[in-house]
Amino acid sequence: MNNNKTTLILVDDDEAHTVLIKRSLKKSGLRNEIISLQSGQQALDFIFSEGEFAGKIRCASIVVILDINMPGISGVSVLKKLKQSEITRHIPVIMLTTTDEPKEIDECYKIGCNAYITKPVKHTDFVEKMAELGLFLKVSKMPGFG
């Protein structure tokens, strides 16, 4: 499967969330590599191969999963940057966040996110949502990167 080569970039400052998301996605049967990053800055550096990631990693294709509330550069800012650049504009971005403010959801879609998922507080709902996301990622054909 082509999609197995797609790398998931999970950007969330909350380590616990990262762990939960990773576990849930794996449970749903997703086998793709997941790289977790803790800040918006890291995410940008990674994607644009700058800073600590300069010249290090190149992935064939990536999907970015972004939390919104992060110290420093927020998820929304990262989304904006990605959608402004010709190189990164086509990278699928999924907002995965605790925020369910309608205004914010609207804004993210306007900027160009591909999906907006609210992290459910209830565990069963959470697992269910992650399973859906996993399935979605498995069946979607991801565009190549670079």
Partner 1 sequence: MLKTNKNFYWLAGLMTVLVLIVMVVSYYILWLTAIEEKRTDLVHIVQSQARLIEAIARFDMKHNRVEWETPIGERGPTSLLSMRAGADTFSQIYDAHKHYQGFGETGEILIAGIENSQIMFLLSHKKSLNKKTFTVPFDGENAEPMRRALSSLSGSMVGRDYEGEIVLAAYEPIDVLNLGLVAKVSLDEVKAPFIRAGFITSFVTVVLIFISSFFFRRLTKPIANKIIENEQKFRDLVENINEWIWEVDVSGTLLYSSPKVSQIIGYSYDEVVGHSLYEFMTSIDVENVQDVIEQSSKTKTSIHALECTFINNKQEIVEVEMSAEYILNSKGKLIGYRGVAHDISERKQREHLLKRYRDNLEEMVADRTIELEHVNKELRDFAYIVSHDLRSPLVSITGFTGELNEDMKILSNCASQFLGETAEDEYRDVKMALNETIPESLHYIETAADKMNRLINSILTLSRIGGRTLVYEKVDIKQLIVNNLQAMAFQIEQSNTVVDIAELPILEVDELAMEQIFGNLLGNAIKYLSPDRNGIINVWCEENKTQVFFYIQDNGIGIAEQDLSQIFKLFKRVGEQKMVGDGMGLAYVQTLIRRLGGKIECQSVLGEGATFSFSIPKR
Residues binding partner 1 (CB under 8 A): 14, 16-17, 20, 23, 69, 98-99, 101, 119-124, 126-127
SS3 call for 113: coil
In sequence order, the 6+-apart residues with CB closer than 8 A to the CB of 125 are none
List helix spans (H) across the chain: 15-27, 40-47, 75-84, 102-111, 123-139
CB of 14 to partner 1, least distance (A): 6
H/E stretch holding 63 reads: strand 61-66
- In the complex, least distance from residue 111 CB atom to partner 1, rounded to whole angstroms: 19
Pick between residue 27 and residue 58 the one whose CB is nearest to partner 1.
Answer: 27
* Closer by beta carbon to partner 1, 17 or else 79: 17
Provide the minimum distance between the beta carbon of 124 and partner 1 in the complex, in angstroms, as a whole number.
7
